Amino acid sequence: MHLTLHVWRQKNASDEGGIVTYDAPDVSLDMSFLEMLDVVNESLVEKGEDPIAFDHDCREGICGSCGMVINGTAHGPRKATTVCQLHMRSFKDGDTIMIEPWRAHAFPVIKDLVVDRSAFDRIIASGGYISAPTGTASDANAIPIPKATADQAFDAAACIGCGACVAACPNGAAMLFTAAKVAHLNMLPQGQSERYSRVKNMVETMDAEGFGNCTNYTECEAACPKEIAVDFIAFMNRDYIKADFKG
């Protein structure tokens, strides 16, 4: 398969950056998208050129590192699929592919397709934990939790923090990410003692980081590789209103 790649290249955070075109011949249908970029980078290195910088780690759809916008869609054309799980059989011979980094005020570009997502870390640090002194870890089934509640909490905990929700949102909002991180703790008995301080701190940190506001486009849910529902945003908003009343 022969492809033409238009890739965003940017030397550093202060560089203006721009699109550079690359020829990608002999691409196998069995390659993952990242493997295809690896092959392109090998050819660039052989020519003495700077390889395309992109984030990756587990390559199993778990870590959330491989964020990039492919043909205008976060993570590419396949629903519920990270870039590392996207295979070249999703494209056809002769295709032209546009590859860009996440575009959001709170995600400044570091180099090429790599963006600074440390804002997510600061949101987590502000409340995404349980600090109640409960001693040693108890058995998983020691605290009875209704199955429906456990299932919902697990769905929220599936968030891998990739940032696709932010990249897809016209407002650059991080509401789905923050809501998932709030909900998976606030739904469980262990998270109740800090429930309202958690949501207040995390939402306020999210706002301080420069993310936009949610206006219910629901692009975040469509782009999420773990298919996390926007229902969690409503759950977070309710808890935040209650936290305000509680002072």
Neighbouring residues of 133: CB distance < 8 A, sequence distance ≥ 6 = none
- 94 plus 170 within the same structural domain: no
- 123 plus 240 within the same structural domain: yes
pLDDT of residue 180: 98
9 DSSP β-pair partners: 18
* Distance of alpha carbon 185 from the chain centroid: 19
- 92 plus 133 within the same structural domain: no
pTM over 0.85: yes
List of the chain residues with pLDDT < 70: 132-135, 137-138, 140, 247
End-to-end CA distance of the chain, in Å? 61
Mean pLDDT score of the chain: 95
- What is the residue range of 32's domain? 3-110
pLDDT of residue 137: 67
- 74 plus 138 within the same structural domain: no
Task: Please identify, among 110, 136, 170, the residue that sits at the C-terminal boundary of a domain.
Answer: 110
